[in-house]
Amino acid sequence: MAVVFGTVAAQQSGEGPVRKAFAAADANADGAMDVNEFVANTIYLFKEMDKDRDGYLSMQEWSIDKSGDAVNRFLLVDRNGDGRISIGEAVADKMIQFFEADSNRDGVITVDELLRYERGVRTASAGK
């Protein structure tokens, strides 16, 4: 498991799973994740989730959680509306999230920035 918003790490409650996922994605173990680490992790997770190895994520592969939030998130990431998520769509979505999470705009995210971002996403989702 690693850091990809909308997956198991982000959906589980508590900081432990997010901290563990962050540490796994922080390739050089410096306590901060730069864009290269973040994109590499996104690609790695995409390949792990692509169970049928067709180069796309179906709704079934996208999430074990079939709640409305998971469906809505899938539809947002599927920018061309073809009913599947390409690696380009996944990376584009994660790039947006990276820069949203980088609250001090220093070009890297720390686990604390990630946790604040995750709390904000959950709070916003709960308010809908």
pLDDT of residue 123: 72
pLDDT of residue 6: 47
Q: Which amino acid is at 71?
A: V
Q: pLDDT higher for 121 or 79?
A: 79
CATH number at residue 71: 1.10.238.10
Place of tokens 């720390």: 110
The range of the structural domain enclosing residue 34 comes to: 8-123
Q: Is residue 34 part of a domain?
A: yes
Q: Is residue 37 part of a domain?
A: yes
User: CB of 64 within 8 A of CB of 34?
Assistant: no
What is the total count of domains within the chain?
1
Give the residue from 2, 124, 5, 1 showing the smallest Cα distance to 70: 5
Q: Is residue 2 part of a domain?
A: no
Hey, is 22 helix, strand or coil?
A: helix
Cβ-based neighbours of 5, under 8 Å, separated by 6 or more = 94, 97, 118, 121
Q: pLDDT higher for 20 or 126?
A: 20
Q: Is residue 87 part of a domain?
A: yes
pTM of the model: 0.81
